Amino acid sequence: MARTLLITGASSGIGAATARAAAAKGWNVALLARSADKLEALARDIGDAALALPCDVTDREQAAAAIDKAADHFGGLEAVFANAGKGVSKAGIEQGDPEEWHAMIHLNILAVLYTAHAAMPHLKKTKGHFVVTGSKAGRDHMKGSVYSATKWFVHGFGENLAEEMREWGGRATVIAPGMVDTPFFDTPQSGKIQPGDVANAVLFALEQPATSAVREIYLMPND
């Protein structure tokens, strides 16, 4: 029976690349994002192994409903990839925009917590795996960066969650890339990490034997 991977932020970039890579390796994929058109197009491309579930993962009830629907549709969840995230247009504290911080914190932090909270009962049944997108910015101190601070939270949360899941045979992994060539940036970053590179890291973590828990994968561009 095929395993199921649920992905947030699945409509483009890292999320879409991971969905395609996982499906190619025999996984079912549940696709969550706000962009219904993009999600449905991706699901059509992948085929019967994909389920499009448009929702706003910063809305706790929407996220929980989508996660439950995915588990019902596929008969369970073996893995979740909390990938949705965003940055801000104005860097620094003095020049930063508190409204942008508010939206970013809700997506980069609260949506990860909502996803984990709703997914845990399903993952507990399968001794499953929770993967979350961190960042090089979550390992470094960056002048005035609120985005970096949100990713520091993700890295700390990932380790804490891994300890909780370990009690019942589950695993958690933080994927921490440097600059990735995705729509996150306004201009193409062709010499940087590609979304498929990150997808390969996610699948590497998921496919480890039960005796091995990969807690973090740190990727940097090789240019």
Q: What is the pLDDT of residues 8-59, one digit of tens each?
A: 999 999 999 999 999 999 999 999 999 999 999 999 999 999 999 999 999 9
Q: CATH number of the domain that 16 lies in?
A: 3.40.50.720
Is-contact 42 10, C-beta < 8 A?
A: yes
Q: Any residues with CB less than 8 A from the CB of 223 and at least 6 apart, and which?
A: 191, 192
Q: Residue 60 to residues 27, 113, 193: CA-CA distances in angstroms?
A: 26, 9, 31
**Tokens encoding 120:** 């845990």
**Tokens encoding 99:** 């409204």
Residue 197 burial by CB count (10 A; 0-12/13-18/19+): exposed, middle or buried? middle
Q: What is the CA radius of gyration of the chain?
A: 16
Check if 218 is active-site: no
Q: Residue 31 to residues 53, 109, 165, 201: CA-CA distances in angstroms?
A: 6, 19, 23, 19
Say how far apart CA 173 and CA 153 lie, in whole Å.
Answer: 14
Q: What is the pTM of this model?
A: 0.95
Q: What is the pLDDT of residues 96-134, one digit of tens each?
A: 999 999 999 999 999 999 999 999 999 999 999 999 999
Nearest-5° Cα angle at 82, 211 to 195: 90
User: Which member of 114, 147, 152, 157 is catalytic?
Assistant: 147
Q: Which domain holds residue 57?
A: 4-219
Structural domains counted in the chain: 1
